Amino acid sequence: MTGDPAFSTGDHHHALSPSPPPNLLITMEEGSQNSEQLFEDDGNELELEGNDIDIDSNSLDIEGNGLDIESNGLQDDCDGMLEIDDNHESNGDDATAVSIENGISQGKNYPPPVVGMEFESYDDAYNYYNCYAKELGFAIRVKSSWTKRNSKEKRGAVLCCNCEGFKTIKEANSRRKETRTGCLAMIRLRLVESNRWRVDEVKLEHNHLFDHERAQNCKSHKKMDAVAKRKVEPTVDVEVRTIKLYRTSTADPVGYGNLNSLEGEISETVDRSKRLKLNKGDSQIIYDFFSHIQLTSPNFVYLIDLNDEGCLRNVFWMDSRSRAAYGYFGDVVAVDTTCLSNKYEIPLVAFVGVNHHGQSILLGCGLLADDTFESYVWLFRAWLTCMSGRSPQTIITNHCRAMQSAISEVFPRAHHRLHLSHVMRSLFENLGELQESGVFQMILNRTVYETVKVDEFEMGWDDMIRRFGLADHAWLCTLYEERERWAPVYQKDTFFAGMCTFENGECRSSFFDSFVHKQTSLKEFFGKYELLVQEERKIEAINDLESRDSSPLLKTRCFYELQLSKLYTNEIFRRFQDEVVMMPCFSITQVHANGPVITYMIKEHEAEGDRSNIKNFEVMHDKAGTEIRCICSCFNFNGYLCRHCLCVLHYNSVEEIPFQYILSRWRKDFKRLYIPELGSNNIDISNPVQWFDHLHRRAMQVVEEGMISRDHYTVAWQAFKESLNKVRLVADKHV
């Protein structure tokens, strides 16, 4: 039982740590361990990328493409680094936040490194990590680096905490004080293209306290020159930023349209199939919309992809609310390409998440010239950069080869899954007369939706193929080869946050579903865009108030129901309540025990009143670790425990659901401030450009707090009035 893949409790998405290929020359940098120790640490990894040199040599040549971010308040300086927003609640303290708990630290001016961060050069990466370390109070050194054989070109490096390792036997006899503690904090860098360095592995945990005074005098910080330091420090006095994204050199350089010229004036020599398809006047509509939004929303950001002739290819935009919301709900993101794939009037692509009410939220929009690999790579890099380089845990898309390749390129560690509803719809569309067969539909639905083990799914699929003579159906064979991306039975270790309901295949991935139709024009879309976004946010605010001020009606006497009625928002609690109501199961049987880990078999009726059709569910319970897992994987799919797990907890007299199964993303008492932390709070008081952004961010924090309840609103409003009166008094003195 425990050997079944569905019951594996390990983390399956750990990637192999990148290591130097065999034709790379490893060199020891100053302060690193001796070569024997190095190979003892990394020797097993040297073979992992034995074939990588072929991949590297054949990889696409990526060239920088300067794209303008138009923003009145954006604090990112992406030439030097990507800013990583901390996914935690701000306490209003301007000082650097350092948490010694578990040895994990976070700084505000230099956010902690994450896998996927990219830099323009090795020096940029080193200087960033050095500044981050200095701010927190530790020093760094180069543990190892490697270059190509017969070449001095650096290809990779490991930067570690200065307390890494221990003294050698020779060093142990010296009188120097022991400062090494075997600390494991480090980052591993790799040159992924001719001019781009990527962080491939990160360990943030330190096993020692930070010593700012000692760190200041360390070699790595002493040799930090002022120029390098300024390059990685985020500045706040620049209103318009230039951010470097990357597009493959195979991208067509021909124009797609021009914001500075009328569509009718585009040269006939331009390949119109390769440009953003705009009607007459659409360029002005886009320009007017972005200009208007920037005036009303200072932290609004848009990026434009232009070719060498200055013609428009692709567009991306998002506001500060979406960016801040991603910090709370960025674990699962759906990419809605309905308009693009179905050839709508507007080639719209939307990034959609799900909030604490199970409601779709907008996390960014784009207009694409086409659905090619190049366009998707540009869009995903634009979105990821605005999200400070933090990749989602799960990305859900429709079935598109170009997009699948682009996701592998930009989000290599994310779980890429396909919309099950889209897969099922396309499956029926490609099967001709069989789509009318009720028997075929019943067998297909039972195979896809009702199987709980991999072997059950594969046997059911084989039986279906033989029964209906589909062995030679090429499209169906291709779909089956990608089954791990869409069949629920293969996705039990993927977190979906309730965005996909695998009982019927539906997916809450659309934000503009009832708003944008096939004939909707760009003018009509932008004319109603703000109203729609504001309406959705108004609904979220109303749901917040209702969840805080009301107590849901309980349907049972189960203490789990009472427990979560006090914690979860109304909508999520109602979904969980359905599981509680169905808790009375047919029987519970212990089938296997391995120390504190016990496996139970839960039998329940598939339909109410139907005693003949019984379904079995295996639940594994670890009493020592208070862990529980059901083969139905309801917790990963929906974000709360299923009725089968609740039965086992009740059977073992566990009175409350363990805390790790109560997600903060669903809680109604979790404070969410939709104001992104856009860099340093160190304001140059002599620079008027910085005044507005600083005051605006602080004022918006009061606004967000003021929306919590009527009492909060009253206090916030009174504070604003008092502040305004005080400011006017100051102004009167200078008249």
Pairwise CA distance, residues 347 & 375, whole Å? 12
Q: What kind and span of H or E run contains 132? A: helix 122-136
DSSP SS3 for 166: coil
Distance CA 629, CA 649 (A): 11
Distance spanning both ends of the chain, measured CA to CA: 82
Tokens of 13: 């998405």
Contact predicate 138/206, CB 8 Å? yes
% of the chain at pLDDT higher than 90 = 35
pLDDT digits (tens, 9 = 90+) for 35-72: 333 333 333 333 333 333 333 333 333 333 333 333 33
**Which of these, 359, 350, 327, lies nearest to 397 by C-alpha position?**
350
Quickly list DSSP for 339-355: HHHTT-SS-EEEEEEE-
- Contact yes or no for 305/65 (Cβ under 8 A): yes
Cβ neighbours, 10 Å, residue 343:
10
Q: Which residues of 80-95 are buried (b: 16+ CB within 10 A; e: fewer)?
A: bbbbbbeeeeeeeeee
Find out whether 600 and 588 touch, Cβ atoms under 8 Å: yes
Give the pLDDT of residue 459: 95
Q: Return the amino acid letter for 179.
A: T
What would the pLDDT profile of 270-280 be if each residue is shown by its tens digit? Answer: 455 468 888 88
**pTM for the structure as a whole:** 0.61
Token pair of 108 as six digits: 């505000």
Lowest-confidence region among 103-107, 556-560, 600-604, 691-695: 103-107
pLDDT of amino acid 63: 34
The least confident of 18-32, 402-416, 552-566 is 18-32
Mean pLDDT of the chain: 75
Structure tokens at 562: 């009472």
Alpha-carbon span 552 to 575, nearest angstrom: 12
Q: What does the block give as tokens for 340? A: 């693009």
Handedness of CA 125, 126, 129, 130 (dihedral sign): negative
List, edge to edge, every strand of the sheet that includes 597-605: 587-594, 597-605, 614-622, 627-630
Confidence bin at 103 (pLDDT 50/70/90): very low
- The predicted-structure confidence for 527-556, as pLDDT tens digits, reads as follows 999 889 989 999 998 999 999 888 899 999
Q: Which residues, including other chains, have CB under 8 Å from residue 113's CB and lie 6 or more apart?
A: 84, 128, 129, 132, 187, 199, 202, 204
pLDDT at 204: 87
Sign of CA dihedral 45, 47, 53, 59: negative
Q: What does the pLDDT read at residue 12?
A: 39
